[in-house]
Chain A
Amino acid sequence: GQSLEQPSEVTAVEGAIVQINCTYQTSGFYGLSWYQQHDGGAPTFLSYNALDGLEETGRFSSFLSRSDSYGYLLLQELQMKDSASYFCAVGGNNNDMRFGAGTRLTVKP
């Protein structure tokens, strides 16, 4: 089977740095993605890692360790608009994608 674990909630203040971890167990692995979803909205793509290491895109970075079945999303210089749910998702070998339960990030002033 497949399972992804991520914290249910994280709270941080504006300007801070927050890390959202994701561990996974899957039968096939093609890559780890991160998506952001605001309340009432659709998921939007943030980042993708197929290989070990860090990918940086502006204020967001994502890390993957395939040997540890672990990744994280790092959000820097937090802004109020970053308050949303963040999902890690694993792409499998058969063109599927399975999402974690999501981490609700609340950014406080």
Chain B
Amino acid sequence: EPEVTQTPSHQVTQMGQEVILRCVPISNHLYFYWYRQILGQKVEFLVSFYNNEISEKSEIFDDQFSVERPDGSNFTLKIRSTKLEDSAMYFCASRAASRYEQYFGPGTRLTVT
């Protein structure tokens, strides 16, 4: 069964450094998403992406964040200058057109020290 993959599974970085989280959505899906989840808390929407542009972004997704689909398979989230409060699990998700269920990847645990 096709699945969303994410790399790395765990990323440790120092405050102020840039990080890029990578995702490979399911191949025939057209809608892509990034979420984050601070340990023990709810899943928070960051951004959605369709047709090579951002559809919607939350108040969390400020100028420090950017997304890109550099080729036909990868979808990346960049955090330009990480803060301690960016430490969280970051989930990528994708869905097919005219379907509502989103398929989540296993997540990247980001630790900012």
Interface residues of A (CB under 8 A from B): 31, 33, 35, 37, 41-45, 48, 50, 87, 89, 91-92, 94-102
Q: A95-B31, A96-B45, A99-B44 are in contact. Are A45 and B56 (CB under 8 A)?
A: no
User: Nearest-CB distance from B16 to chain A (Å)?
Assistant: 29
Consensus secondary structure, chain A interface: strand
Is the beta-carbon distance between A42 and B91 smaller than 8 angstroms? yes
Residues of B near A102 (CB, < 8 A) are: 42-43
B residues contacting the other copy or chain, number (CB 8 A): 22
Q: Does B48 sit at the interface, judged by CB under 8 A?
A: yes
> B101: CB under 8 A from chain A?
yes
Q: Which A residues are in CB contact (< 8 Å) with B56?
A: 92, 94-96
User: What are some 19 contacts across the A-B interface (CB < 8 A)?
Assistant: A33-B100, A33-B102, A37-B43, A42-B91, A42-B104, A42-B107, A43-B43, A43-B91, A44-B104, A50-B100, A94-B55, A94-B56, A95-B55, A96-B58, A98-B45, A99-B35, A99-B43, A100-B42, A102-B43
